[in-house]
């Protein structure tokens, strides 16, 4: 049997800011809400979400013998996370200014898993970093890390929403589990709903991906036009306005330091860039997910150059 306090200690040593432990179970309420969202067609071009819905909300269907979900979070908040000048027309979501988090968090999870296996060589399990059908935000609520905010993101009391998640699904139980976070704590605040430039944040704590700038600038392109409000990769509009984010500390893990300053780059700089220059400068960031050509097309949708 695993020891919960030991897991949390090792997670901190691996570089995570938060760690919670939950039993693997069917997250039935999360699945119900998710299926309702799909039925409304709000997934837009995210057709991959329509697959494996039953696995998404039950880790036991993803990992044979799964017993425990270890949910880890790390802050990436930087000065860029606090917002851009009103006239800036080449805005990038602040998480994309760092090394690609998939690689960084996978390395951190591997250190944590390796430390656990050092004492228990037969321990089975899998690591997950946003690349498999796993309802990680709901798991994080179950593990006591926070609640789902009005903008559908995980809100943590200390670090707000500027966090990235990684999970270990382990084939052993712990002697105790964390208490699920009880209820949302957004109160009467509607900042994220009011701040969304396109009205993508719904009243029922979901996102209409058809109107979401982050989806429009990164995911598979869809028909129709949308004012991107100066964003060329992702969007932080529903985060930089959140009171929890405003008082959250900057990131402590140096692995999440920005690799470039997006405020120093104009639309003209991006349009003049070659593929070789893009790869050399941004090849280790999440910007490669869309690529230079897509970023340049996004600039075209933003209109005027500065």
Domain assignment present for 90: no
Domain assignment present for 284: no
Question: Taking 70 as the threshold, does the pLDDT of residue 306 lie above it?
Answer: no
How far apart, in whole angstroms, are the C-alpha atoms of residue 286 and residue 116?
29
Q: CB–CB of 168/110 below 8 Å? A: no
pLDDT digits (tens, 9 = 90+) for 184-225: 789 999 999 999 999 999 988 999 999 999 999 998 877 677
The catalytic residue positions are 130
Average pLDDT of every residue of the chain: 94
Question: Taking 70 as the threshold, does the pLDDT of residue 286 lie above it?
Answer: yes
Domain assignment present for 295: no
Q: Can you give the pTM of this predicted structure?
A: 0.94
Return the SS3 of 73. strand
Give the closest residue to 229 by CA, choosing from 86, 40, 21: 86
The tally of domains found in the chain comes to 1
Domain assignment present for 200: yes
Tokens 């869809």, located at residue: 222
pLDDT digits (tens, 9 = 90+) for 101-150: 999 999 999 999 999 999 999 999 999 999 899 999 999 999 999 999 99
pLDDT digits (tens, 9 = 90+) for 222-242: 767 789 999 999 999 999 999
Domain assignment present for 293: no
Domain assignment present for 278: no
Range of the domain at 13: 1-77+100-222+235-257
Domain assignment present for 9: yes
Question: Taking 60 as the threshold, does the pLDDT of residue 1 lie above it?
Answer: yes
Domain assignment present for 299: no
How far apart, in whole angstroms, are the C-alpha atoms of residue 122 and residue 117?
7
Number of residues that make up the chain? 306
Q: CB–CB of 68/139 below 8 Å? A: no
Q: Which residue has the higher pLDDT, 43 or 31?
A: 31
């Amino acid at each position: 049997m695993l020891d919960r306090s030991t897991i949390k200690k090792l997670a901190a040593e691996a570089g995570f800011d938060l760690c919670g432990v939950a039993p693997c179970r069917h997250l039935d309420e999360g699945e119900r809400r998710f299926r309702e969202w799909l039925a409304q067609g709000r997934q837009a071009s995210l057709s991959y979400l329509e697959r494996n819905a039953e696995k998404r909300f039950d880790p036991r269907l993803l990992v044979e013998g799964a017993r425990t979900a270890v949910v880890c979070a790390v802050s990436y908040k930087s000065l860029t996370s606090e917002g851009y000048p009103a006239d800036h027309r080449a805005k990038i979501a602040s998480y994309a200014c760092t090394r690609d988090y998939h690689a960084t968090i996978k390395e951190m999870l591997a250190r944590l898993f390796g430390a656990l296996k050092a004492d228990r060589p037969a321990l089975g399990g899998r690591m997950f970093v946003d690349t498999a059908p796993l309802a990680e935000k709901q798991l994080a609520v179950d593990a006591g890390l926070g609640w789902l905010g009005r903008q559908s993101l995980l809100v943590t009391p200390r670090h707000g929403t500027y966090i990235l998640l990684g999970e270990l699904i382990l084939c052993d139980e712990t002697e105790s589990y964390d208490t699920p976070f009880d209820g949302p704590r957004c109160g009467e605040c509607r900042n994220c709903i009011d701040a969304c430039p396109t009205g993508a944040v719904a009243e029922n704590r979901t996102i209409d991906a058809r109107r979401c700038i982050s989806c429009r600038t990164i995911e598979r392109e869809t028909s129709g036009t949308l004012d991107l409000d100066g964003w060329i990769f992702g969007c932080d509009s529903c985060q930089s306005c959140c009171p929890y984010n405003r008082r959250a500390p900057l990131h402590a893990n140096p692995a999440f330091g920005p690799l470039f300053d997006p405020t120093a780059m104009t639309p003209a700089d991006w349009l003049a860039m070659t593929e070789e220059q893009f790869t050399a400068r941004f090849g280790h960031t999440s910007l490669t997910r869309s690529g230079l050509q897509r970023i340049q097309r996004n600039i075209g949708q933003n209109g005027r150059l500065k």
